[in-house]
Chain A
Amino acid sequence: MTDYMDQMRNFASGMNQGSPQAQALKLETVSMDRDGAVLRVPYDEKLIGDPETGVIAGGVVTTLLDHACGQAVHTGLTEFKTIATLDLRIDYMRAAEPGKDLYARAHCYKVTRSVAFVRAVAYDVDPSDPVAAAQAAFMLDSNGGRGFGANRGTGRK
């Protein structure tokens, strides 16, 4: 079990480093265990959504939550599977505090043969005073035999 979780921690940090969007946001996995995953996006002026207040764009929260929910799925599995987001619902409760880093804590609460269900909150200081809350469903074994470079070239199969 510990071995799998160690592998997943390595996989998560590799996934962050290998993902250009995660790199562009400087997204980082803070912790990963059986309770789920905690991720961080540092405050950055280029991510501001409201120039008048300096508040980070809702879209950054969306990406952080999607990414965190995806990594949490792996904490709910016992072996690696490819995954794809089916749906993601987000409630935006308040504006994030300008200048503060954003965190997301995601927990995979149910796994079936083909679907994983995840809940998450995004917060700046206190997880009990969230900026946003999310609920997501993921398809498992999503690659269906489509491997490396499947999205390149023309036409959709």
Chain B
Amino acid sequence: MSDPAEQIQRRLEQIPYARFLGLRIELAGDEMTAILPFSPHLIGNPVLPAIHGGVLGAFMEMTALSQLLLKEGQARQPRVIDVSIEYLRSGRPLTTYARAEIKKVGRRIANVHVEAWQDQRAAPIAALRGHFLVTPTEKA
């Protein structure tokens, strides 16, 4: 058994879009943090400048998917059914972090909440709630 963080990281590296964003994950015990290092191509509004809202949504979606892979062990990549994204503050040209909380996993559907922040954990820049179609690996 290799390190679970490494397994998820390897899975992410196989996804071209995860490489395009530059997303990676870190584990502290069983707590996962997704990290999106700042890169100029993530900017949506060059005037402020601010990270594209779609990029923040995409980052939080990938955080939820990674958390599901980590906690539930999925036979297949979970599929997004719906997401609701709240934008709280504009994304500055800084590293963005996100953590996901799985609120419920049923036989087919999981409900996940995600929060993203930058320099202050207590001042989140965006939040996401979503439903995901899951196919959990049979537990031995």
Contacts and interface: CB of A to CB of B under 8 A. Distances in A.
Contact of B44 (A65, A67, A92): A67
A66 interface: yes
B38 to A, nearest CB: 11
B81 A92 contact: yes
B40 A20 contact: yes
Nearest to A64: B54
Interface string B58-93: 110110000000000000010111111111011011
Nearest to B52: A21
B121 to A, nearest CB: 13
A89 B131 CA distance: 12
Contacts of A22: 44, 52
Interface in A129-157: 146-152, 154, 156
Nearest to B85: A88
Contacts of A58: 58, 61, 80
Nearest to A70: B53
B58 A60 contact: yes
Interface residues of A, number: 44
Q: DSSP majority for the B interface?
A: mixed
Interface string A84-100: 11111111100000000
B45 interface: yes
B26 to A, nearest CB: 20
A59 interface: yes
B43 A85 contact: no
A84 B15 contact: no
Nearest to B59: A59
B48 interface: yes
B46 A59 contact: no
A51 B87 CA distance: 30
Interface of A is mostly: mixed
A21 B43 contact: yes
A86 B17 contact: no
Given A63-B57, A67-B54, A156-B120, A47 B47 contact: no
Contact of B46 (A18, A46, A56, A150): A18
A50 interface: yes
Contacts of B15: 48-51, 57
Given A67-B44, A87-B86, A46 B53 contact: no
Interface of B: 14-21, 40-55, 57-59, 61-62, 77, 79-87, 89-90, 92-93, 119-120, 123
A-B interface, 4 closest residue pairs, ranked by CB to CB distance from nearest: A59-B58, A63-B54, A57-B17, A66-B54
Given A21-B41, A48-B17, A59-B61, 9 more contacts: A21-B44, A23-B41, A59-B62, A67-B54, A87-B85, A88-B84, A91-B81, A92-B81, A147-B47
